[in-house]
Structures are given as structure tokens and as C-alpha cells.
Structure 1
Amino acid sequence: MKTTGNTIFISGGSAGIGLAFAKKLSAAGNKIIINGRNEERLQKALQELDNAVAMQGDLSVADERIRIANELTANHPELNIVINNAGAAFMNDLGDANNNVTEKAYQEINTNYISVIDFTSRVLPQLLRQKDAAVVNISSIAVFRGNKYLPTYSASKAALHSYTQGLRDTFAENEQLNVYEVYPPLVNTEFSAGIGGANGIPPSEVADELFQALANNQFEVPVGETKRIHALLEPLTEQAAH
């Protein structure tokens, strides 16, 4: 699809991978709408962007999702790309009886999965009115294998992965709407600082990969070390019934 002249909504767009997306896409001549919970951080991010506006709100809250979707319809009818990037992640020790495993898992599944489904369903009618549109879901290398440090986060991203495949299949015959999935490995952001993020790749690398994928209509977007895993598994998963 085209990589310039779009109107793009990016959740979690005030920092980390989301801000890297905003910078890359803004520089390419797109109008950017960044979303986040913290107004101060949003305003700071805007200083680094051209042709961008902020839309404060917490998409993990149902009333906020509804409000933001309505504002997009009313104020940005030309919206044609939605990047579902906002996420939640917790170190979650399943063997610790004093750890609030369920509450952490609930927050992750709500933010990383349920909220994405609901918000996407609310903006889909607007996207389907455009000649060239896309939904971009940011999943993770963790969809391929959970671990003892982030077991419930991995599960929430695996759920998002399955949903994304289903959404892509649903609109497979609609040439105007494309569904992308980005699989970052560990990325050096504030979000991942508690799990060794300093050892990760720069967020700009994820943004560069998405930009190329949009230009090439490459709907599966593995990044960094995820490419090796994806190359092994994709031929097998494509053999499964869609």
C-alpha cells in the first residue's frame, strides 16, 4: 500500500516503538494521530513530529475506546491506518503463591487482546470506507514460545496473533483493507526496561521493518531474531486450514 499521504492512528504512540513508528511515518509525509494515557508525554512526543496531533485516552477502558473511536470518526474521517501498539506486560511468577497472577494476567489480556478487538471493530467501518486501508497489530516474538518470566504476557500476545490471522482471513477478498502483524523481539524501550530491554534492538529498527512491509504489501513482519523462527514456522502454519 502507499506509504505517504495516509492518516495514521498509533496507540501507545508517545514513547518506545509507537513513537518510532510515528517518527518514521511522519517523516514520510503522513498525518499522525498519537494516542496515550499521559497528556504530558503526548505533548512532549509531538515536539518531535511533523503533521501530528495527540488524542489522550486509555484504550484499555471501554468508555475511553468508545470516545476515541467516535472522535476519530468525527474529526478524522480520512483515517485509513490503525496501528494497535499499546500494550501491558508484567513479570508474573506462576510459582509464587503471594503473586497476584490473575490480576496481572487480566490486565495483559484486556490491554493486549480484548481492547484491540473492541477498538478495531469500532473503527473498521471507517477504514472500510477508504480506498486503501490497513490494520497493523503489534504482537511479539513471544507468540511462538512462552517462558517463566512473562508467561501470561506471552499468552495474551498469542491470542492477539490468532485474532490477527482470523481478521486477515475475514477480509482476504477485500483488496482495500490489509491486515499486518509485526513481531518484534526484545526492544530497547522504557516498556521493556525491567526485562533486560537494554540488550534489545532499537525501536527504529522495528519502524523501518514496518515501513518496508507497508510498501511491499508484506503482511507478516518478523523483526530481528524473530525472522529465523518465523521462517521455520510459517510454511507449516500456512498448510493449516484457513
Structure 2
Amino acid sequence: MKTQHNTVLITGGSAGIGFEIAKLFAQNGNQVIITGRNAERLQEAATQLENTTAIVSDISKPDDVNQLVERLQKEFPTLNVVINNAGRAFAYSLSADGINAAGKATEEITTNYLSVVSLTEKLLPLLKRQNEAAVVNVSSIVAFVPGSRTSTYSASKAALHSYTQALRYTLAADTAIKVFELMPPLVNTDFSQEIGGINGISPVVVAEALLEGLQQDTYEIHVGNTANLYKLFLSSPEEALLAMNNGR
């Protein structure tokens, strides 16, 4: 997959992994579009980026998705890379009283999975018109092995992983659209502080891994410790679960 002269959409591009991906792609000669829910934060991010357009949009809201797709079709007809990065996560114990796990899971599933399915489906006709195109779904190490404090978030990423595999297989049959999955471990972002993100890797490392993965057509990009945990998971799912949860 080429990594220059693309028109790239990055959802959740105002901070963390999404911002670093936007920065790297913009510096490499791509036209970048970033979206986010917070207008002030989004515009602040855009001022720090080259070749970047900011669009306020909440991908968990169907009306926002429809408006975003309509604008992209009109203003960015050469769109050929969609990076589904926006996410929602809660850290809590399933055994805690009154935690409202179902409510939290609903938000996570909507943002991390169902919204990706919706936006991708609506953008496929535009992607199909390009000579080369790609969908990148930002998943996680927990798609393989769940974290006990991020149980429903882990489930949403497992769903995304399954969908990504099926989408890749389906689109390979009769389109030029390549489907990638970016699977980082714990990353040090504002998003992850509640679950110990200070101990995670830099989002810059994740962005660089994505660029390299695209260049090499590595469809499942295991960043950092994800590669090690995946190997352990293949040999012993039980040990991998213990390792993910610090032996507890």
C-alpha cells in the first residue's frame, strides 16, 4: 500500500494515537481529514498539523455519520484511506455493585464496533472508485486476551477484530480495497490513564508501526507487546489471560 499522496480520514484524530497518525501522514505528503466530538480540541489539533482539515463529528450518532459521509463525498472525492480510530472505554470491575456494566458496554460497543461498521459501509462506494484504497481499524491487544478491568471494552475490540477479518476476506474477492488492523498494547494517552496508561508505549510508536505495516502490506499489525502476547495466546490461552491480568 502506498503511504504518500493519499486522502486519509482519521476518526478521533484530535489526540493520542489518532493525532500522531494524522501528524505522521500529513508530514508524508498526504491530505488528512480528522474528526472528533470536541470542536475546540479538534481545532487546536488541526493548527498543529500540515495539510489537515478538521470536521466536528461524533461517529456514534447516525446523523453525524450521514453528514460526514455527505461532506466527504462532495469535498474529498479522492478519499482512499479510512482509519477507524475513535474509541470509548471504561475501566471497572464486573463484580462492583451498581456499576451499570450494561450501560457502559452499550457505549463501548456503539463507538468501537457498530459505528465502525456503519461508517465503513457508507464509505465503501467512494473507496471502490479509487485505484488503491484501504480501511484501517484500530483494535487492541485485548481483542485477543481480555483485561479484567476493561472487560466490556475488550469484548468490543474482539467484535471489531472478527468484523475486520471478515471484511478483509470479503473485499479481497472483488475490490482493490485492503483491510488492515492496527493492534497496539497499552499506550500512554489521556484515553488510557485510568488503566495505567502512564506505563504504556508512546502513541508515536503506534503511528510509525502503522506506516510501516501499510508499506509492507502487513494486514494485522501487532505493535510492541501485542506480538508477544499473541504468541503466548496461541500456545496457551490460559497463561495469556493470566499474563494480561498480572497473574491474578
Gaps of 5+ in 1: 236-242
Q: Can you list the C-alpha shifts for 1:210-240, whole angstroms capped at 9, x where unaligned? A: 00011111111000000123345679xxxxx
Q: 1:198 and 1:31, CA in 2 relative to 1: closer, same or farther beyond 3 A?
A: same
Measure how far apart 1:46 and its partner are: 1.1
Contact preservation (8 Å) 1:182, 1:220: yes
Measure how far apart 1:86 and its partner are: 0.2
Are residues 1:188 and 2:193 paired?
no
Are residues 1:59 and 2:59 paired?
yes
Contact preservation (8 Å) 1:92, 1:152: no
3-state SS of 2:149 partner = coil
Residue 22 of structure 1 aligns with which residue?
Answer: 22
Q: 1:22 and 1:42, CA in 2 relative to 1: closer, same or farther beyond 3 A?
A: same
- Which consecutive aligned stretches of 4+ in structure 1 deviate over 3 angstroms post-superposition? 230-235
Q: Distance in 2 between matches of 1:126 and 1:71?
A: 12
Measure how far apart 1:92 and its partner are: 2.9
Contact preservation (8 Å) 1:92, 1:104: no
Q: Over the residues paired in the alignment, what is the CA RMSD in angstroms? A: 1.5
Q: Distance in 2 between matches of 1:212 and 1:11?
A: 20
Gaps of 5+ in 2: 236-248
1:90-239 map, 5 Å: 90-174=90-174, 176-231=176-231
Measure how far apart 1:186 and its partner are: 0.3
Q: Can you list the C-alpha shifts for 1:111-156, whole angstroms capped at 9, x where unaligned? A: 0000100110000100010001000000000011112200000000
Contact preservation (8 Å) 1:12, 1:34: yes
Are residues 1:75 and 2:85 paired?
no
Contact preservation (8 Å) 2:145, 2:233: no
Q: Distance in 2 between matches of 1:233 and 1:164?
A: 19
Q: Distance in 1 between matches of 2:185 and 2:19?
A: 17
Q: Distance in 2 between matches of 1:118 and 1:234?
A: 31
Q: Can you list the C-alpha shifts for 1:58-86, whole angstroms capped at 9, x where unaligned? A: 00011111111111111110000000000
The amino acid that maps onto 2:191 is: F
Q: Distance in 2 between matches of 1:15 and 1:53?
A: 15
Contact preservation (8 Å) 2:128, 2:175: no
Q: Distance in 1 between matches of 2:11 and 2:161?
A: 17
User: How many residues are matched?
Assistant: 236
Measure how far apart 1:175 and its partner are: 5.6
Identity %: 49
3-state SS of 2:185 partner = coil
Indicate the structure with greater helix content: 2
Contact preservation (8 Å) 2:141, 2:185: yes
3-state SS of 2:221 partner = strand
Q: 1:77 and 1:3, CA in 2 relative to 1: closer, same or farther beyond 3 A?
A: same
Measure how far apart 1:173 and its partner are: 2.5
